[in-house]
Structure 1
């Protein structure tokens, strides 16, 4: 992969997700008509605002270092190398939330646009999905140049090329499903995640539940490199507990071959606590 330009109160537990996929589909904000041009302009203004934030250069540097480490253990990736790639990377964004009515979701979308610049990912190769998107919000995303997915994949998306997954404040089941679907040396080595810290998930979940319900995240903790991304106090609701996560090939190769054989699809006992909207519900 290569380089380019890839007032919120303290969040109580679960508060942020109210802007996310927990919003009821009957919410007025979901169905109201949007002024697409006005919303696009507001998002671009937010992009400009974030670009001027003190923490943005650190996000950019951490992303480029992670990208460089994934591409080569010895040399940094330059912007020119990024532009000359034969097989350009993709991006998948799940669970963004209702960005037309939720300030946190709007800032997260603006940050995604900045990160895509850095990684030289074409907007058309950025696939976005949230079951709570209104038709107006889908039109906004298309106007920005992104590709809106029409099917709830529940995170079960296999990768065939370097892919950035942008999953800020998404439910653990989404991460677990994604890891399961790509549980191989080839698959994991092509994943670059920006989302919830795996270590943070482990700390906030009982050991029994973490290993039984979210076994792939549990195993991934020892197979990944995770760098925490800075978050200013006023943006705790927006970017708290966010990390850039990679799966270096040299670490994956140390894993016994038996641990890659026939990964079983995750099964969840407590569907009420999954923090995601299932395909059957969307």
Structure 2
């Protein structure tokens, strides 16, 4: 998943604060100290198949998928994706291809938390809704073909690494990215050198990025999708990538 930002938290990760549900206004992603999770640490014997555990998780996912599918939030999301301004962006990403690969990162514990289940539910439902979305997988790759990167609430350095791996217009124009708002990162420019390093390409890419904010509609989905946006990268003739002095960092 790429090297984490150092010296930001006790375990070396840089991530995003989940605001409270009190209001749904757009908020800025911030560095935070990694919170302790409810689940137990992974152990090697977790590789053993537990049918009852699998059944419980499957049931939880079915409940989440059904809840999302019948929600006003999902209806609004699909309407946004089918709107001319957003669907045109996807057509530009597809180019002459007929299918868009989906790569999924940053999904948290499906057993312990509802928000990750909601996030994965959206990815699954999108694959069902659109026949041009294929190949959901927990991986990252260079965009050699049109690819949807589904990265809800990932650490800033992961978006940065994805951009670095594809830092050329003939690759970026093949990418549709669902993740933290790049605009929010730009608005939160700091003097911290580690944060600057983690967001360098995010900020640099802003001038070639078309961003469409997600409306969470109800409090139920605010923790899972707040400050999330669709991002598309311009392939116009006047599009130029910023030259970054330090390519290795």
State the TM-score, normalizing by the size of structure 2.
0.72
User: 1:262 Cα shift?
Assistant: 9.6
2:81 to 63, 74, 78: 63
Match of 1:236 in 2: 222
Measured against aligned partners, the alpha-carbon deviations of 1:134-169 in whole angstroms (never above 9, x if no partner) come to xxxxxxxxxxxxxxxxxxxxx5x2111111111111
- Which of 108, 127, 136 in structure 2 is aligned with 1:126? 136
Instruction: Say yes or no: does 1:201 pair with 2:150.
Output: no
Counterpart CA distance in 1 for 2:222 and 2:171 is: 32
Distance in 1, matches of 2:118 and 2:138, equals 15
Q: Give the secondary structure class of the aligned counterpart of 1:55.
A: helix
3-state DSSP class of the match of 1:192? strand
| 1:221 aligned partner | 206
User: C-alpha displacement at 1:109, in angstroms?
Assistant: 1.0
Decide which structure has greater helix share.
1
Whether the aligned pair in 1 keeps the contact of 2:57 and 2:110 (CA below 8 Å) is no
Q: CA deviation at 1:208?
A: 6.4
1:196–1:241 CA contact under 8 A, matched in 2? yes
For 1:44 and 1:237, the matched residues in 2 are separated by 19
Contact 1:89 1:163 (8 Å CA) reproduced? yes
Q: Distance in 2 between matches of 1:236 and 1:161?
A: 32
RMSD of the alignment, in Å? Answer: 3.7
**Residue number among 195, 210, 235 corresponding to 1:249 in the alignment:** 235
Conserved 8 A contact 1:104-1:238? yes
Q: Which residue in the other structure is 1:10 paired with?
A: 20
Instruction: Determine the C-alpha separation between the residues in 1 that align with 2:222 and 2:72.
Output: 15
Equivalent residues in 2 for 1:1-282, closer than 5 Å = 10=20, 18=35, 25-26=41-42, 33=50, 35-65=53-83, 66-72=86-92, 87-120=98-131, 125-129=135-139, 157-206=141-190, 209=193, 211-231=196-216, 232-250=218-236, 253-256=237-240, 259=242, 264-265=247-248, 267=249
4+ residue segments displaced more than 6 Å: 11-17, 260-263
Structure 2, gaps ≥5 residues long: 1-17, 23-29
User: Matches of 2:129 and 2:75 in 1, distance apart?
Assistant: 11
* 1:264 match: secondary structure: coil
1:64 Cα deviation from its structure 2 partner? 3.5
TM-score, structure 1 normalization: 0.64
Distance 1:260 1:64, change over 3 A: farther
SS at match of 1:58: helix
In 1: Cα distance, 2:33 partner to 2:112 partner: 13
User: 2 CA distance for matches of 1:19 and 1:112?
Assistant: 26
The answer (yes or no) to whether the contact 1:227–1:245 under 8 Å persists in 2 is yes
